[in-house]
Amino acid sequence: MNNKTVTVPFVDLTLQHQPIQTQLQQAIQGVTERGDFVLGQALKEFEAAFAAASGVEYGVGVASGTDAIALGLQACHIGPGDEVILPANTFVATLIGVIRAGAKPIFVDCDPQTALIDLEAAARAVTPQTKAILPVHLYGQMVSPRQLLDFAETFKVLIFEDAAQAHLAEREGYRAGSVGSAAAFSFYPSKNLGAFGDGGMLLTRDPDVAQKMLRLRNYGAAQKYIHVEEGTNSRLDTIQAAVLHEKLPYLPQWNRDRLNAAQQYDIELAPLASSGLIPIQNHSSEGHVYHLYVIRVDDSCGVQRQQLQEQLAQVGIQTGVHYPIPCHLQPAFTHLGYQVGDFPNAEMLSKQILSLPMYPGLSHSQVQQVVSAITLILSGEHQKILCL
């Protein structure tokens, strides 16, 4: 088989867009007819709708998820001299947001079973300068809200959620974005709720945080040409907001589709645990929205992750690695002073994790195809997968 022929893509956005193509085109046309391309009607409507769907009062659309973190922390009065605790196992945007806010990032390790931040490690990292904890709801699973709230109460710190991968995720009666003082979301096209380009949003219950965020995203202006603080230009385009608003009602079903595919993966991969192939654990039951479905290729496994990934690609099954280098070991951030061995769980996961195809519309037969191919590779019968 030609190894460029994709039989199971890692992500297929056409399956969600094709059935609503007419509505999406009409939403875009509405913006072009009104001509309100910046801070327009559709943005205000989407901000209110996404905030309500997430269980909070205020939403402020910005240009990216990274800006939602950086400006959101500033809106929460986090800046120079403040320490922010975050997991080493996250996308680099989390770290960049903290640095851009002027705060000092303090990394901690993660739980190797869930890949989420280790709150016991976070407790040991608290100092008098700690002003916030930045939990990442990784892969679509929330960090325990009850444990986060206990942590915040114990150490008198602010909770700022990175929910870039957790649109409408739930755990312990909370939705992502409703636990802390504020939360950042990304609308990158491949997210559970994705735009037709970059985009992000800050959610909060605090009207003062929301008002400050509105100023920060728009040159620090309280009103036109009156700049009361040092803001920037970071606004969610009205066309992107119109697309997102049109897609939002479908998000619950798309999340259920992801959950159904994940549950099938769980069942069919279970026999391979004894061979060293172990899915990242779900501690959220049906509240996990599975932005990614991630497995660990343990050291006891008969094949290495790269070998498994390459052999799957040979039969057209695309996979990913999220993420191959922990933040504390990224070349751009050596000045932070961290070393190999500082966060062993994050470092171990970076060498073991593999993300399997996951998207709304992923079929039962496609999941079976992925698992069958993995099973044959682990059994040493690689050539047989060419017949799948």
Q: What confidence tens digit (pLDDT) does each residue in 75-100 have? A: 999 999 999 999 999 999 999 999 99
- Residue 383: predicted pLDDT: 61
Alpha carbon 92 to chain centroid distance? 11
User: Is pLDDT at 178 greater than 80 in this prediction?
Assistant: yes
- Residue 384: predicted pLDDT: 62
Residue 295 sits in a domain whose CATH number is: 3.90.1150.10
213 backbone dihedrals φ, ψ, rounded to 5°: -65, -40
Unique residue bearing structure tokens 């995720």: 169
* Long-range CB contacts for residues 119-126, cutoff 8 Å, separation at least 24: 119/143, 119/144, 119/147, 119/148, 119/151, 122/85, 122/151, 123/151, 123/154, 123/155, 125/85, 126/85, 126/155, 126/157
Q: Are residues 223 and 321 in the same domain?
A: no
Q: Are residues 137 and 27 in the same domain?
A: yes
User: Is pLDDT at 5 greater than 60 in this prediction?
Assistant: yes
- Residue 4: predicted pLDDT: 58
Region of residue 107 (phi > 0: left; psi between -120 and 50: alpha; otherwise: beta): beta
pLDDT cut 70: percent of the chain above it: 97
pLDDT tens-digit map of 43-67? 999 999 999 999 999 999 999 999 9
Name the active-site residue from 4, 44, 104, 191.
191
Q: Whole domain around residue 232: which residue ranges?
A: 14-250
Out of 203, 235, 250, a domain closes at 250
Q: Are residues 182 and 99 in the same domain?
A: yes
Out of 217, 250, 283, a domain closes at 250
Q: Are residues 119 and 212 in the same domain?
A: yes
Unique residue bearing structure tokens 């991969």: 269
- Residue 2: predicted pLDDT: 45
List C-alpha distances in Å: 132 to 76, 205, 264, 323, 328. Answer: 10, 17, 38, 24, 19
Looking at the domain assignment, is residue 5 inside a domain?
no
User: Is pLDDT at 15 greater than 50 in this prediction?
Assistant: yes
Using alpha carbons only, give the angle 175, 179, 185 rounded to the nearest 5 degrees: 65
Give me the residues paired with residue 297 across strands: 277
Residue 36's identity, in one-letter code, is D
Report the range of poorest mean pLDDT among 225-239, 300-314, 331-345, 371-385.
371-385
Omega into 359 within 30° of 0, i.e. cis? Answer: no
Q: Where residue 380 falls among pLDDT bands split at 50, 70, 90?
A: confident
Q: Are residues 244 and 258 in the same domain?
A: no
Radius of gyration, CA atoms only, the chain: 21
Q: Are residues 244 and 294 in the same domain?
A: no
Q: Are residues 191 and 324 in the same domain?
A: no
- Residue 1: predicted pLDDT: 39
Nearest residue to 366 via CA among 11, 4, 2, 3? 11
For the chain, the average pLDDT equals 96
User: Is pLDDT at 72 greater than 60 in this prediction?
Assistant: yes
Q: What is the number of structural domains in the chain?
A: 2
Catalytic residue flag (residue 191):
yes
Out of 250, 271, 291, a domain closes at 250
pLDDT tens-digit map of 287-322? 999 999 999 999 999 899 999 999 999 999 999 999
Nearest residue to 140 via CA among 259, 222, 265? 259
Q: Are residues 272 and 196 in the same domain?
A: no
pLDDT tens-digit map of 127-158? 999 999 999 999 999 999 999 999 999 999 99
Residue 222 has a CB neighbour count (10 Å cut-off) of: 14
Q: Are residues 241 and 264 in the same domain?
A: no
- Residue 62: predicted pLDDT: 98
- Residue 388: predicted pLDDT: 54
As a whole number of angstroms, the distance between CA 57 and CA 283 comes to 27
Q: Are residues 326 and 221 in the same domain?
A: no
Alpha carbon 248 to chain centroid distance? 17
- Residue 103: predicted pLDDT: 98
User: Is pLDDT at 229 greater than 50 in this prediction?
Assistant: yes
User: Is pLDDT at 386 greater than 90 in this prediction?
Assistant: no
Region of residue 134 (phi > 0: left; psi between -120 and 50: alpha; otherwise: beta): beta
pLDDT tens-digit map of 188-209? 999 999 999 999 999 999 999 9
